[in-house]
Copies of this chain bind each other. A is one copy, B any other.
Amino acid sequence: MKKKQSATIYDVASRVGVSLATVSRVVNGNTNVRESTKRKVLAAIDELGYHPNAVARGLASKKTTTIGVVMPDVTDMYYSELARGIDDVANMYHYDVLLTNTDEDPVRETMAVNNLATKQVDGIIFMGNELDREVLNTIASVDAPVVLAGFLTSDGSLPSVNIDYVAAIRESTKALIRNGHQRVALVIGPLTHAINKQYRLKGYQDALEEMGIDYDESLVFTSHQDYAAGMQVAERVTAAKATAAITYDDEVALGIMNYMIDKGVKVPDDFEVVTSNNTKFAIVTRPAVTSISQPKYDIGAVAMRMLTKLMNNEILEDTQITLPHTIERRGTTKNDLEIKM
């Protein structure tokens, strides 16, 4: 039963007594084939166990019906949920997904994009936190549309799908301030990244300004995106005498929360926490974590949908898509947390 791929389009053609072209037509659903011959071809295909060779098809048609997905890490819940959205709509449009983990290393990101180009993918969806100049150049040099999912560059030169980070952080910060906090810590990624400096930090600063609180740089912390990093930054947050924190990553939020709990600090009574991604991590703890709720699956799905249009040479009416977010109130904030614009 091995060697399924042995039958070629030629075998089918000669068996039925038609030309390659005819077989190709029925395989590709071309309507210009007489019903009777179509039936015969289909029968032969079945008997021979013929399956089209996508590689040959790719060479001839210059379309591989494969897209590349470049992401920091599949084991990161935030990205994997985006990936699931991407994969589902990719399948819906009959695309396969070539997955690459980069750990946000620009060198690996560059290699990944180049490699995907070599494999002739029809398009690429890129996830991460920032686009290094060299990566940007590589993307520009590639003959395949690229869309960013879950982050963006400051110049908006590439199509992307995101939520309104400024508003999301602004709202949460204000809510915390209304809850009585004068010192709210902001825990984000490197300020060298546009998404952190121009969006998240901006939202935080806007909130402070609107609420009449002076911006204190010492309340802004940079952290890696993992649990251990959260525990570490928690110590600094404590030292800075913050009484609440907004984080950009759920694992970091849990690290901070558990640090507090382990130190005997009551959450939310003595310390409130709001996180950003609303992954499963935010709901399995006690207390569960209040979070900005991003439509992660949809971000991936919409990005993929955009990509299909791009691959189809359609014009996008809007290249910078912003999806709505909400705030999910849970146990790490006091019940009277009030969300307002």
A132 at the interface (CB under 8 A from B): no
A164 at the interface (CB under 8 A from B): no
When C-beta atoms are compared, the residue in chain B nearest to A65 turns out to be B119
Complex alpha-carbon distance, A84 and B254, angstroms: 23
Shortest C-beta distance, A263 to chain B (Å), equals 12
Contact check, A117 vs B80: say whether CB atoms are below 8 A apart.
no
Interface string of A116-152 (1 = CB under 8 A from B): 0111100000000000000000001111000000000
Contact check, B284 vs A286: say whether CB atoms are below 8 A apart.
no
A118 with B54, Cβ < 8 A, contacts A5-B143, A88-B101 known: yes
Q: Which of A56, A58, A101, A284 has the most CB of B within 10 A?
A: A284
A28 at the interface (CB under 8 A from B): no
A97 — which chain B residues lie within 8 A by C-beta?
98-100
A285 at the interface (CB under 8 A from B): yes
A56 — which chain B residues lie within 8 A by C-beta?
59
Copies in the complex: 2
A328 at the interface (CB under 8 A from B): no
Interface string of A154-173 (1 = CB under 8 A from B): 00000000000000000000
A261 at the interface (CB under 8 A from B): yes
A114 at the interface (CB under 8 A from B): yes
Contact check, A54 vs B119: say whether CB atoms are below 8 A apart.
yes
A284 — which chain B residues lie within 8 A by C-beta?
227, 251, 254, 258, 281, 284-285
Segment 67-112 of A: residues with Cβ below 8 Å from B:
69, 73-75, 77, 80-81, 83-84, 87-88, 91, 96-101
Shortest C-beta distance, A65 to chain B (Å), equals 9
A64 at the interface (CB under 8 A from B): yes
A3 at the interface (CB under 8 A from B): yes
Contact check, A114 vs B74: say whether CB atoms are below 8 A apart.
no
Contact check, B75 vs A87: say whether CB atoms are below 8 A apart.
no
Segment 46-68 of A: residues with Cβ below 8 Å from B:
49, 51-56, 58-59, 64, 66
Segment 1-48 of A: residues with Cβ below 8 Å from B:
1-5
Contact check, A120 vs B53: say whether CB atoms are below 8 A apart.
yes
Contact check, B55 vs A64: say whether CB atoms are below 8 A apart.
yes
Complex alpha-carbon distance, A75 and B76, angstroms: 9
Instruction: Please name 23 pairs of A and B residues whose Cβ atoms are closer than 8 Å in the assembled complex, sorted by A.
Output: A1-B140, A1-B141, A3-B143, A4-B142, A4-B143, A5-B120, A53-B59, A53-B118, A54-B119, A55-B58, A55-B120, A74-B74, A74-B83, A75-B77, A75-B81, A77-B77, A84-B101, A96-B115, A97-B98, A227-B283, A251-B280, A261-B286, A285-B286
Interface on A for B, CB 8 Å cutoff? 1-5, 49, 51-56, 58-59, 64, 66, 69, 73-75, 77, 80-81, 83-84, 87-88, 91, 96-101, 114-115, 117-120, 140-143, 227, 251, 254, 258, 261-262, 280-281, 283-286
Which A-B residue pairs are the 10 nearest by beta carbons?
A99-B99, A55-B58, A254-B284, A54-B119, A74-B80, A75-B80, A55-B120, A54-B118, A4-B141, A55-B59
